[in-house]
Amino acid sequence: MTVTLGEGRTPLLHAPRLSERFGVDIWLKWEGANPTGSFKDRGMSVAVTKAVEEGATGVICASTGNTAASAAAYAARAGIEAIIVVAGGAAASSKLVQVRAVGGRIVEVPGTFSDAYAEAARLAVDGVVLVNSTNEHRIEGQKTAAFEVLEQLGEMPDVLALPYGGGGNTKAYARGFLEKTGELPRFHPTEAERRADTVASAIRIVEPNHLAEVQAVLERSGGSVVTVNDDELVAAWRMLGTEEGLFCEPASAAGIAAVARGVAQPGERVVCVVTGHGLKDPDAIQRLAL
């Protein structure tokens, strides 16, 4: 039985004002339209379905919040337990509200995302399955976003720009494009300069789990990691809201920040993956809104 909440099939929206501003053809893959408000739902449907097939009694993950909200919702849907490990104070408040609303259990540990991940991996025993993006089923689910981009655009974009946290989503898009076409667009995963305490709380990850795979994707696609500061992220976030009406969380605007940095040549077609909904991080909004 598939554990689903209706994830995927999200809009690919043209961005006419941002396209004009930057002289490139910008499309927004709006992943905030997923059931729990982020792209994580694509892979979580597959990971929880497989966990249940294997007889799991629960799932566990470390998270900056979105994986948590997604894991807890899909676990509830499957009738199994969800344990969420967060680094003290690091996850945005609304994401933890989402976990509690569907009955997930939250464990706080001191330290960083890496400490939370180590603890989650340690607790993943006795029928409790780890559903971080190191779980291959997560990547298999997330690659469907690349299939949709190809269908919706009708061709391969020149550039894919997306936020870079642990690198799981970069790996998933690359797999999806390669499986369908044998080719890749130029990848520009975009990270926050202040990795440990950026305003973009979703990507507060200092040691990406998928570093080697991301490196391989960059070499093969001719792309590069873009590092932007918080002012650039906030400026991109505001532009998406005020010029295109798309309200995302700050991390999700990273692809636009990369475009503003000039990663695309005039006239190139760029897909920016807008990974999560703005309502997920109300504290950021209070601090940053105009």
Binding site for ligand F0G (CB under 6 A): 38, 40, 63-67, 133, 163-170, 202-203, 205, 249, 251-252, 275-276
The residue among 77 and 277 lying less far from ligand F0G, judged by its C-beta, is 277
Contact at 8 Å (CB) between 117 and 87?
no
According to DSSP, residue 248 is labeled B
Type of residue found at 273: V
Task: Supply 170's token pair.
Answer: 């970069």
CB of 64 to ligand F0G, least distance (A): 4
The residue among 53 and 287 lying less far from ligand F0G, judged by its C-beta, is 287
If phi over 0 gives left and psi between -120 and 50 gives alpha, with beta otherwise, what is residue 79? left
Query: What is the end-to-end Cα distance of the chain in Å, rounded?
Result: 46
According to DSSP, residue 204 is labeled -
CB of 276 to ligand F0G, least distance (A): 3
Please give the C-alpha separations between residue 286 and each of 104, 197, 290, in angstroms, as whole numbers: 26, 17, 9
Task: Supply 249's token pair.
Answer: 């969380």
Type of residue found at 199: V
CB of 266 to ligand F0G, least distance (A): 27
CB of 267 to ligand F0G, least distance (A): 27
CB of 253 to ligand F0G, least distance (A): 10
CB of 171 to ligand F0G, least distance (A): 8
The residue among 98 and 170 lying less far from ligand F0G, judged by its C-beta, is 170
Type of residue found at 242: T
CB of 28 to ligand F0G, least distance (A): 14
The residue among 5 and 23 lying less far from ligand F0G, judged by its C-beta, is 5
The residue among 11 and 23 lying less far from ligand F0G, judged by its C-beta, is 11
The residue among 38 and 221 lying less far from ligand F0G, judged by its C-beta, is 38
Please give the C-alpha separations between residue 240 and each of 15, 24, 27, 257, in angstroms, as whole numbers: 9, 15, 12, 10
Torsion sign over Cα 106, 247, 285, 270:
positive
According to DSSP, residue 165 is labeled S
- Using CB positions, name the residue nearest to ligand F0G: 165
* CA–CA dist 124, 275 (Å, integer): 27
The residue among 19 and 201 lying less far from ligand F0G, judged by its C-beta, is 201
